[in-house]
Structure 1
Amino acid sequence: MPIVTIQVTREGTLPGAERTTREQKEALHKGVCDLLFEVLGKHPDDTFVVFQEIELEDWGRGSSSVIEYRKRKAQLVY
């Protein structure tokens, strides 16, 4: 019985969206189930997919939140 957890930051992936849409989650769920069936022979009815959306301020990279990391990265000149 596979259990797959998908974690994403809670931010819009489409213009005007504030979070992952229901349609995007459905597509991810189907894709994960199809892949587990194709690779491991696991039947989709036996696969559980858990989505966790995390607020940006609760997600860090390096020594700061993702918000601060992105601000610093945007200021870098290459």
Structure 2
Amino acid sequence: MPYINVKITDENVTREQKQAIIKGCTQIMVDVLDKDPQVTFVVIDEVKLDDWGIGFDQVSKLRENTLK
């Protein structure tokens, strides 16, 4: 019974994109481990940009710098 937790930044990910993530993760479990998709769980957590850091900075700050 696989449980897959996907964390992404909260940036207007559409329902269709989330469905594609769920489908893709489930398919990997089927292909690689021969798992039953009916008992494969995928949870997507969306993390605010202020709550995600890379190096010394918040992603929100890093994104501001790349837009300048």
The TM-score range, normalised by the shorter chain, is 0.7 to 0.9
Say how many residue pairs are matched.
66
TM-superposed CA distance for 1:69, in Å, is: 2.5
Structure of larger gyration radius:
1
Gaps of 5+ in 2: none
Match of 2:7?
A: 7
Structural RMSD (CA) = 1.4
Gaps of 5+ in 1: 12-18
Match of 2:58?
A: 65
Q: Secondary structure at the match of 1:67?
A: helix
Match of 1:37?
A: 30
Identity of aligned residues (%): 42
TM-superposed CA distance for 1:49, in Å, is: 0.3
Please state if 1:26 is matched with 2:11.
Answer: no
| TM-score w.r.t. length of structure 1 | 0.77
Bigger helix fraction:
2
Please state if 1:48 is matched with 2:41.
Answer: yes
- Of structures 1 and 2, the one with the larger relative CO (CA 8 A, separation 6+) is 2
Q: Secondary structure at the match of 1:42?
A: coil
